Amino acid sequence: MNTAPLRGEEIVAETNETLKFVMVGHVDHGKSTLVGRLLHETGFIPDTKVEHVKKVCDDQGKGFEFAFLLDGLEEERDQGITIDVAQMFFRTKKRNYVVIDAPGHKEFLKNMISGASNADVAFLLIDAEEGIQEQTKRHAYLLSLLGIRQIAVVMNKMDLVGYSEEVFNRTRDAYLEYLSTIGVKPYTFIPISAYHGDNVVKKSDKMPWYAGGSLLETLDAFESKDDRSKLPLRLPVQDVYKFDKRRIIAGRVEAGSVKVGDELVFLPSGKTTKVKSIEKWNAATPELVIAGESTGLTMEEQIFVERGDIACKKNEQQALVADRFTANIFWMGNKHLQKGGKYILKLATMDIECVIDSIPRVINSSTLEEISKNAAEVAKNEVAEIILTTKKPIAFDTFDLVPETGRFVIVHEHDVRGGGIIHKLVEHYSAI
Amino acid sequence: MTDSQKFDHLDKLENQSIFILREAYKKFKKLAMLWSIGKDSNVLLWLARKAFYGYCPIPLVHIDTSYKIPEMIEFRDRYAKEWNLNLIVGQNKQALADGMNFTQGRITCCTALKTTGLQQIMEQYDYKGLILGIRRDEESTRAKERYFSPRDKNFEWDFKDQPPELWDQFKTNFDENTHIRIHPLLHWTEVNVWEYIQREQIPVVSLYFSKNGKRYRSLGCAPCTATIDSQASSIPEIITELKATKTSERAGRAQDQEDTYAMQRLRAKGYM
């Protein structure tokens, strides 16, 4: 085991910026080992925790398992598998990081999605010896559906293939071909050995043929999430408060910005009024609120608005209003999604009953093979194109314009069972 | 001033937590917030007052094991009055009458006085949502938590089959006889909590500050909570100390060290 070249306490980040990245890929390709190695070498694993893991490994009669630094559950360590996503913290000289370690087993795909949906950047891991496997493909496709564009591919276990450039090139070319079919353009491919620490924090001398940076250097080169405040305003109403004389419309600005005096349109009703004040407790009243802020506004006129409405600006591009749209969904439920079935749709702060009108196409999310046309149902881990109708017209966007109001989840029997992104509104009902 | 300078990392954390608190308040009619009097739950309470414009419309529950450090109780009573809080104090009186204390086993004692004490209050008031100030960086089972995390009728956490949570769409629908734990500070770190306490000037118990070379880093019951060696007697000194530390936050909490998976077992049964 290498000793840490840097210790966490010696690192002062230049900014307080935080970037979240997720590690995805097939089971046993070494995601948790890599994350454990990264946290250990950057000096962010407490000594007490290292001691604790040493003891557990000794009890099991194993050498030091970096993965155990993350896989804290007894079942995970006994089986050597990550069951649920873990989030850990560290920093470099550049900034702060949250690393999300997602499970690679097909059975825990919903946990992988829970982790990956929060990430700014994703690293797709491939075992150099085993090559591209089922989840290597599926995870890449799901990342594209989740809207994660900043992706790097990491080829792990290079030590097991003799640090071979040829193996690296062959797998890289095969994977690039697959990725191009789903429109994913990886930033780079990095050959590493998480177990030995090659190219993780520091460049390794074992692969002189590799000209790129270490994994950590690559990470520092990514950008943090793009600024949503330049988009048109989308302020979904979360609640209306009347704790005192003020009637405050509360919600989080999902896109754009808003200031006092702006004329707002609340969709789907189309009611308009002007912003009278921006409310804040125990702080100066801001002139402007931007994307990401949970705010509260009072209005010039006391119009009736309710949770689920989306406030837009009168002089900007407004959200769409309709009761029918097409979407791409991924399904995580044990029970199949049924054509004609009734579900709860949650989009921004709106919860509404919906019916699945039709399922024009179902595909295998790993092979991308078309399973069926005009299907009757969608099974777990499949991806489909669907058309659905909501009980009443709602406000939304297409995912490519405003992601936050262009995506939704489907709830069935109390739990989120699927997620989707909206392609387009459907004007008239017709048999597809 | 650019937008990114205006909206710094503490603003991001704060705004996400406010969003979660407002979701909880909207979706749960019978909702309570656990107030342990520690730094995290004080930050949580502060965030609630921010979310609801100076009011805290959610009742606060304190589970009093009777073994808490006296300064904690003084602090609780002072701010409950000053901030006009709806405070509910729960205590497993039967277990205490039967002589429960840590010598019967720390895990047994924690389960009886904290988990069961909490269960009794939840049943008495029929709470369906419970807000807690736990964070992912505290220990490894908490690192796997969701913002909205269901508990079954026996209070148990099924960590092997958690519901998906994506795009801030939370689990707000649930069966009768179950409840949801809500964790608005899950994404904060220990350093973030102190940075925010500093920025907002949030009152905290004086036990966190060094006296005679010792301070508490995590607060709990007197017999099971140890001080650490520290010269940090102000918030900036604590932040500097924490940025350099290589020991974990809960190293001074004896129940965590009972066995390798102590916290997993405690939390699976309904511990905080």
Question: DSSP characters for B186-223?
Answer: TT--HHHHHHHHHHHT----GGGS-BTTEE-SS--BGG
Cα–Cα distance measured from residue B125 to residue B122, given in angstroms and rounded to the nearest whole number:
5
The total number of structural domains that make up chain B:
1
The answer to whether residue B240 is domain-embedded is no
- Determine the residue among B50, B84, B168 to mutate to test chain A binding: the one whose Cβ has the most chain A Cβ atoms within 10 Å: B168
Contact residues, A window 94-123, toward B, CB-based 8 Å cutoff: 96, 98, 110-111, 113-114, 117-118
The answer to whether residue B239 is domain-embedded is no
- Kindly list the domain boundaries of chain A, sorted by start residue: 8-221, 228-313, 320-425
Q: Which of A65-79, A352-366, B112-126, B184-198 is predicted with the least confidence, judged by mean pLDDT?
A: A65-79
Q: Report the pLDDT value the prediction gives residue A411, as an integer from 0 to 100.
A: 96
**ω into residue B164 within 30 of 0, thus cis?**
no
Contact A201, A3 (CB under 8 A): no
Q: Chain A to chain B, count of Cβ pairs less than 8 Å apart?
A: 165
Residue B136 belongs to what domain range?
Answer: 8-189
The answer to whether residue B140 is domain-embedded is yes
CB contacts of A407 in chain B (<8 Å) are 167
The answer to whether residue A250 neighbours chain B at the CB level (below 8 Å) is: yes
Contact A94, A13 (CB under 8 A): yes
Q: Do domains A228-313 and A320-425 have the same CATH topology?
A: yes
Paired with A361 in beta bridges are A373, A385
Cα–Cα distance measured from residue B35 to residue B40, given in angstroms and rounded to the nearest whole number:
9
Q: CA angle at residue A193 from A188 to A198, to 5 degrees?
A: 85
Q: CA angle at residue A194 from A189 to A198, to 5 degrees?
A: 70
The answer to whether residue B16 is domain-embedded is yes
What proportion of chain B, given as a percentage, has pLDDT over 90? 57
Contact A48 B247 (CB under 8 A): yes
pLDDT in tens, chain A (432 residues): 443 444 555 666 667 788 999 988 887 788 888 988 888 888 887 777 788 888 888 888 888 888 787 777 777 777 766 776 678 888 888 888 988 887 777 777 888 888 888 899 999 999 999 999 988 898 998 898 888 889 999 999 999 999 999 999 999 999 999 999 888 999 999 999 999 999 999 999 999 999 999 999 999 999 876 678 899 999 999 999 999 999 999 999 999 999 999 999 999 999 999 999 999 998 888 889 999 999 999 999 999 999 999 999 999 999 999 999 999 999 999 999 999 999 999 999 999 999 999 999 998 888 888 899 999 999 998 899 999 999 999 999 999 899 999 999 999 999 999 999 998 878 755 444
The answer to whether residue B198 is domain-embedded is no
- Determine the residue among B137, B159, B166 to mutate to test chain A binding: the one whose Cβ has the most chain A Cβ atoms within 10 Å: B166
Select from A150, A156, A131, A117 the least CA-distant residue to A224.
A150
CB contacts of A282 in chain B (<8 Å) are 49-50, 54, 200
Chain-centroid distance, C-alpha A385: 20
| Phi-psi category of residue A28: left, alpha or beta, with phi > 0 → left and psi -120 to 50 → alpha | left
Whether the pLDDT of residue B3 is over 80: the answer is no
Q: Report the pLDDT value the prediction gives residue A2, as an integer from 0 to 100.
A: 40
Give the domain CATH number at B176. 3.40.50.620
Confidence of residue B183 (pLDDT cuts 50, 70, 90): very high
The answer to whether residue B38 is domain-embedded is yes
- Determine the residue among B12, B147, B173 to mutate to test chain A binding: the one whose Cβ has the most chain A Cβ atoms within 10 Å: B173
ipTM of the complex: 0.91
Q: Report the pLDDT value the prediction gives residue A49, as an integer from 0 to 100.
A: 78
- Determine the residue among B52, B140, B261 to mutate to test chain A binding: the one whose Cβ has the most chain A Cβ atoms within 10 Å: B140
The answer to whether residue B177 is domain-embedded is yes
Task: Pull the structure tokens for residue A381.
Answer: 């881990």
Assigned CATH for A8-221: 3.40.50.300
Over chain B, what is the mean pLDDT? 89
- From the CA of A128, how many Å to the nearest CA of chain B? 28
CB contacts of B260 in chain A (<8 Å) are 52, 55-56, 59, 74
The answer to whether residue A415 neighbours chain B at the CB level (below 8 Å) is: yes
Which residue in A has a C-alpha nearest to residue B25's C-alpha? A239
Q: Report the pLDDT value the prediction gives residue A429, as an integer from 0 to 100.
A: 53
Superfamily name with CATH number, domain A228-313: Translation factors (2.40.30.10)
Which residue in B has a C-alpha nearest to residue A249's C-alpha? B52
Which residue in A has a C-alpha nearest to residue B268's C-alpha? A73
- Out of A84, A229, A411, the one facing B159 most closely (by C-beta) is A84
Contact B159 A73 (CB under 8 A): yes
Q: Which residue has the higher pLDDT, B249 or A298?
A: A298
Contact A416 B163 (CB under 8 A): yes
As a dihedral over the C-alpha atoms of residue A252, residue A255, residue A256, residue A261, rounded to 10 degrees, the angle is -30
Contact residues, A window 148-207, toward B, CB-based 8 Å cutoff: none
**How many CA within 13 A on the CB side of residue A348?**
30
pLDDT tens for each residue of B13-68: 999 999 999 999 999 999 999 999 999 999 999 999 999 999 999 999 999 988 88
Strand order in the sheet with A150-156: A86-91, A96-101, A18-25, A121-127, A150-156, A189-191
CB contacts of A96 in chain B (<8 Å) are 9
Q: Please state, in angstroms and as integers, the Cα–Cα distance from residue B93 to each residue in A112, B61, B97, B271, following that order.
A: 43, 16, 6, 18
Contact A89 B189 (CB under 8 A): yes
Tell the residue number behind the tokens 């994506």, with chain if given. Answer: B166
Assigned CATH for A320-425: 2.40.30.10
The answer to whether residue B143 is domain-embedded is yes
Q: Which residue has the higher pLDDT, B253 or A99?
A: A99
Confidence of residue B237 (pLDDT cuts 50, 70, 90): very high
Q: Report the pLDDT value the prediction gives residue A428, as an integer from 0 to 100.
A: 57
- Out of A72, A281, A417, the one facing B50 most closely (by C-beta) is A281
CB contacts of A250 in chain B (<8 Å) are 22
Q: Report the pLDDT value the prediction gives residue B52, as an integer from 0 to 100.
A: 97
